[in-house]
Amino acid sequence: MSVTLAIPSKGRMKEDAVASLARAGITVSAAADNRSYRTSVAGAEGLDVLLLSASEIARELRDGAIDFGITGEDLIRESAAEPGDIVEIVARLGFGRADVVVAVPDPWVDVETMEDLNDVAAEFRQRHGRRLRIATKYWRLTQGFFARRHGIQSYRIVESLGATEGAPAAGSADIVVDITSTGDTLRANHLRVLDDGIILRSEACLMRSLAGPADAGLAEAVAARFRAS
């Protein structure tokens, strides 16, 4: 019996994920063919480490297709309505830090808070003949924050698959909800985060699917190493 753990196959989180496994005594090396998404693992008998994209890891955890995954908290919260019912955060890993934020165009000088934005959204249709448009790939986090947390009902989500911060200047949306770390991309696109506009402070986490692994004893031993490292 084995337990599966997926780490990002590329990008900003891959090297840090490998380092966090090493701190837990698990050495992962790429398979000989370096286009392969399989790895060889030393230090944990029965553990298979897979390489997947960060967003795929969130979906596979949700679906119970893998036992453990290292990915961003934002991605798991976006992929499931009640993430606490499907995954446990075993450890926060201290890298991949970024905030999911609400940002408005710099010229909206009177809009500093979500309450101000609520006023704008309420009047938007009357003034502009349409609802306020929000560009984002985080539609679930956006709905939770706007409708449930702040009672903002009048808006429309424009799904963005990339270059979200460019949407207001391009005219396809009025404001954005996106991830930021240094803030450079928002500034370059003349956007400003609202004072209370941080939806989530995200970082990479080791998460465990609650679906139940094939080998519960081994899964618990893996989790214990991360809690201790």
Ligand X SMILES: O=P(O)(O)OC[C@H]1O[C@H](OP(=O)(O)OP(=O)(O)O)[C@H](O)[C@@H]1O
Q: In the window 180-219, what residues touch ligand X (CB under 6 A)? A: 180-185
Say how far apart CA 158 and CA 44 lie, in whole Å: 45
Sole residue written with tokens 């929000």: 134
Q: Using the minimum distance from each CB to ligand ATP, give the nearer residue, 107 or 162.
A: 162
Secondary structure (DSSP) of 136-170: ES-HHHHHIIIIIIT----EEEEE-SS-GGGHHHH
Binding range to ligand ATP, per CB under 6 A, among 32-40, 50-58, 110-118, 148-156: 50-58
Binding range to ligand X, per CB under 6 A, among 2-10, 32-40, 69-77, 177-185: 177-185
Per-residue HEC secondary structure of 79-102 comes to HCCCHHHHEEEEEECCCCCEEEEE
**Residue 194 near ligand ATP by CB under 6 A:** no
Q: Which positions ≥6 away from 114 have C-beta within 8 Å?
A: 102, 150, 152, 194, 196, 197
**Residue 96 near ligand ATP by CB under 6 A:** yes
Out of 54, 134, 141, 186, the residue judged to bind ligand ATP by CB under 6 A: 54
Q: Which residues share a beta bridge with 7?
A: 51
**Residue 202 near ligand ATP by CB under 6 A:** yes
Return the one option of ligand X, ligand ATP, none that residue 165 interacts with (CB less than 5 to 8 A, by type): ligand X
Return the one option of ligand X, ligand ATP, none that residue 93 interacts with (CB less than 5 to 8 A, by type): none
**Residue 179 near ligand X by CB under 6 A:** yes
Sole residue written with tokens 């081994």: 218
* Interacting residues toward ligand X by CB under 6 A: 162, 165, 178-185
